Amino acid sequence: MPKFSRRLQVARLACLLSLPLLLLPTPGRAAGAPSLQVLHWWTSAGERHAAKVLAARLADEGITWQDAAIPGGAGLGAGKVLRSRVLAGDAPDATQIIGVSIGEWAELGLLLELDGVANSGNWNKALFPTVRELVRHRGHVVAAPLGIHRINTLFYNRKLFARLNLAPPTTWPEFEQAARKLRAAGVAPLVQSSEPWQVATLFENLLLASGGPDYYRELFVRQSPQAAADVRLALALQRLRAAKAWMLNPAEEQPWTEAVKRFGRGEAAMFVMGDWAKAELGELGYAIDADFSCVPLPGTDNYHLYSVDTLAMFVNDYSRQGAQEKLAKAVMSPLAQQQYSAAKGSVPVRRDASQAAMDSCARSSWRAFGRGAAAQAPSLVHRMAADEESRDAIIAEIHRFYMDDSMAPAETQRRLAGLLRTLNTRSHKQGSTHGAQDPDRR
Contacting residues toward ligand BGC, per CB under 6 A = 41, 47, 73-75, 98, 149, 274, 276, 307, 309, 382
- The torsion defined by the Cα of 320, 323, 327 and 333, in degrees rounded to 10, comes to 150
Query: Which residue has its beta carbon closest to ligand BGC?
Result: 276
Q: Give the residue with the Cβ less far from ligand BGC, 72 or 266.
A: 72
97's CB contacts (< 8 A; 6+ apart) are: 82, 105, 143, 310, 311, 312
CA-CA distance, 440 to 244, in Å (whole number)? 34
Tell me if 114 sits within 8 A of 325, measured CB to CB.
yes
Least distance from ligand BGC to the Cβ atom of residue 47, Å: 5
Task: Identify which of residues 201 and 412 has a Cβ nearer to ligand BGC in the complex.
Answer: 201
The nearest distance, CB 256 to ligand BGC, in angstroms, is 6
C-beta of 103 vs 409, nearer to ligand BGC: 103
CB of 274 to ligand BGC, least distance (A): 6
* Nearest distance, CB of residue 114 and ligand BGC, angstroms: 20
Cβ nearer to ligand BGC, comparing 73 with 89 = 73
CB of 81 to ligand BGC, least distance (A): 14
Q: Which residues pair with 247 in a beta bridge?
A: 190
Angle between helices 45-59 and 276-283 (to 10 degrees): 100
Q: By C-beta, is 54 or 182 nearer to ligand BGC?
A: 54
CB of 283 to ligand BGC, least distance (A): 12
Nearer to ligand BGC, 103 or 212 (CB): 103
CB of 147 to ligand BGC, least distance (A): 8
Specify the residue, 53 or 228, whose C-beta has the smaller distance to ligand BGC: 53
Tell which residue, 270, 216, 240, 268, has the closest CA to residue 397. 240
- Is the Cβ of residue 160 or residue 207 nearer to ligand BGC in the bound state? 207
Minimum Å gap between C-beta 309 and ligand BGC is 5
Q: Report the 10 Å Cβ neighbour count for 238.
A: 14
The smaller minimum CB distance to ligand BGC, of residues 75 and 189, is found at 75
Cβ neighbours of residue 28 closer than 8 Å, sequence gap 6 or more: none
CB of 184: closest distance to ligand BGC in angstroms? 33
Is the CB of 21 or the CB of 260 nearer to ligand BGC?
260
In whole angstroms, how far apart are CA 264 and each of 182, 192, 275, 300, 349? 16, 13, 14, 24, 28
Q: How far is the CB of 166 from ligand BGC (least distance, A)?
A: 28
